[in-house]
Amino acid sequence: MIPEKFTYLFVDFFTLLFPLIFSFTRKFDFKNYWKFYFPVNITIAFLYILWDTLYTSWGVWGFDLKYTLGITIFNLPIEEILFFVCIPYACIFTYYCFRKYIFPRITLSLNVFWKIGAFLFFLLGCAYPSLLYTMAAFFSCAIVFLLIDWFNMVNPNRTISFTHFLLFYILILIPFYIFNGILTGSFLNRVVVFYNDSENLGIRILTVPFEDIFYGMGLILAHILGFEYYMAQTSYKHRDRNVNL
């Protein structure tokens, strides 16, 4: 059994552990792509931490410090800050592996759904102006979908495939629900992260709010967009080097 104060740290640690180890293997060698990943992570983590801090102060969600080390930064547990490092790293490492070994075998293109999705998410955000979490989760996806559609137009030789992302995201939802379930009380009699259901739809999958699917989607897609943007820029500057995945 995990000691109470290490509950959230356990989630961070085991999310990061295997992707970090495999990053140093010859087969994956993701460490050579850190120069593309970490500038993106620092920027996006900063924005999401600001969002997190604001919503915590407004009571949209909160944390039971009994299940953390008790160290806080910007009124957030240190484990919550680490969340924005560990979770994106694990996801982008997985995306990198998919792009390198699996995506080349899947050629179906549904990229028009970036536009359609942006429009639908915008409408959904507008439909729930009184639910702060619901509105923000949908609007964040709408913004990232629009940015990806723009990226695909200006980088036709290195697009972000909607089909590839959909396959990738459906698969990572499995560990997503395991780790988020631990934090919200699905598997342990502990609620590390709690939500104010008056600011969301009140729909739970296990104990995880429905909006978390789209919060995570926006977070991971923003990292994918930034990662691919840096890769594309480097490709253009050094076409004689094999920097593509």
- What residues make up the domain containing 172? 4-237
Please give the C-alpha separations between residue 176 and each of 16, 44, 179, in angstroms, as whole numbers: 13, 19, 5
In a domain, 233, yes or no: yes
In a domain, 126, yes or no: yes
In a domain, 196, yes or no: yes
In a domain, 147, yes or no: yes
Q: Determine the Cα–Cα distance for residues 83 and 76; give it in Å rounded to an integer.
A: 11
DSSP letter, residue 156: T
In a domain, 242, yes or no: no
pLDDT of the residue at 244:
46
Task: Write out pLDDT tens, residues 77-123.
Answer: 999 999 999 999 999 999 999 988 888 787 777 889 999 999 999 99
- What is the number of domains present in the chain? 1
In a domain, 115, yes or no: yes
Joined together, the tokens standing for residue 61 give 């969600």
In a domain, 243, yes or no: no
Collapsed DSSP state (helix, strand, coil) of residue 128: coil
Task: Write out pLDDT tens, residues 123-139.
Answer: 999 999 999 999 999 99
In a domain, 245, yes or no: no
